[in-house]
Structure 1
Amino acid sequence: MGIGERLKAERESKNMSLEQVQNVTKIQARYLDAIEQERFNVMPGSFYVRAFIKEYATVLGLNPDELIEEYKKDLPFENKEDVAISRVKSSKKNKATTKTPVIFSFLPSVIVVLLIIGIVVLVWLFRQGYFTGDDADPTPTENEDNTAGESVQVQPTPDTTPSGDEESEGEESSDEEEVEEDEPEVATEISLDSYDNNESYYNLTTTDEDVNLVITTENRNWLEITDESGEKFYEKTFTTDESPLELDVSEVEELYLRFGEPQTINIEINGEELELSDEIQASQPQKAWITIEKQ
């Protein structure tokens, strides 16, 4: 007997329908039926197969961990999947990324600097008379009236204009201060991909190597936090005395959160708030799956 038949037989022995199980677990009936038929390929991903089976088994009064261990070889836990692709077509992943060589990012600035230097050199050449044909020798000139018998010495006007080299150096230094390579900013973005029947699916992208989860509450909330392998970080009633709860989830690719009293709880990852859907009812417990992608 497979795990699907085991769950179905246990459900029928308790005279429960799939709709009744759905109302308790908040898992859609089509997924419950797929589990009973062992059609795991219709599930969002292997991570959800584990989570849904645990919820189903708990409602039927079975030990979920023992059940998972007993049928481990029949379940697709070892297949590495990208759940985010099956759930949402991310435009960022579908776009072909091309990296521009670093030298091309400097070309506009280099061209501007060369242009400024060229203009300064031209101005300096004009002031030196290279383009006027003025080759007059500033030597003493004789008066047309030979009777004067004296010559007038014409003194050259001192050129107080800074040399072209000095201006060029000044322009270069000022431009070099402006041309600085922009350092990449560390950023984290969280988007709500879908919400249905008290289940939220989020996609988180970050350029930071560290991923920190911080949860605060103004009341008492049942809180469960699990990763993609089923390892539990937290599972009990969360109170204000324990707030804030801080967890390092840098090595996690999928986070599963289950919590009550959504109106009194606040969830942040790397300082970005996890915004809940406007459709959420305050009296209903919530489930959230978060796919974490590092760029």
Structure 2
Amino acid sequence: MSENSVQTEEGSDASTVCPPTVGSRLRSAREAKGLSISDVAETLKLGAGQVEALENNHWQALPGLTFIRGFVRNYGRLVGLDPEQLMQELKATLDIKRPDLVLPESTHVAMPEPAGRVQKRDYALPSLGLVLVILAVLIYFLLPDDLSRLRSGVDSILQSLQGVLKPLEPPMSPTRPAAHVNGEQPALPPGSTVNQVLAPDTTEPSVEMPLSAEAGQVAPSSVNAPVRLSFTEDSWVEVRDRNGNVLFSQIGVAGNDKAIDGSPPFSLVIGNAKGVKVIHRGVAVDLTPYLRGDVARLSLE
């Protein structure tokens, strides 16, 4: 075998063992189109770190599975890749990373027998007795009347099974003792009928529920927050405090509001800025001077 054929086989083995990942395919397609990471980040309204995490398959650094799918789908469309094929490869990649916990075949744990199983065995004999009683009753009523001997035998079976069927009787619930029965009932009041005495009082007592003092009030924490975001369209926003800590980084859904509290100054990066209204200490902020395309970058004291 020649050296060239050996190298060819080694190259084919390497390509078989290490297929291109979702992130590497996105990176190769981006480089083929001559786009930089910042170009992709600005177009997709993402941070540069998030684009790098996508290309390096660092899924744990991204917000969540739903956002990962959206990021990969939009990235694939931008660089001309098939989004559906990327979704299948992404699903296979994420499924492989989920650990499967399998116990060894030799593992056997002896569990104590539940007490309920013993009770079921105790009721097996009464259940059998109940079946015999039913059969005896059927024989008693279905056979001709002249079989008096058989009927007498059925009567003896019924008497012998009375003691066996006692465990089947349900326990008496601790209810209120019945009113006077069998001659001990008190006399009805003059002029009243049985229906009047036994009719239950169906009138429900009216209960006035106090109105909550907090109804309609806005939570103090959201009112006192120095920065509030109001989303009229779906937009991605990232907010950091003066120490660079991320206070908010996700896609805001249209119709929702978000209150941001922390240590100023606040650094904001807003994608699709036309769909976000920023209120700083009660005053609406004009994002026009901070726009670069659809992305606004600003700092608020």
Q: With structure 2 as the length reference, what TM-score do the two structures score?
A: 0.31
- Could you say which structure has the higher helix fraction? 2
- Could you say which structure has the higher strand fraction? 1
Give 1 or 2 for the bigger CA radius of gyration: 2
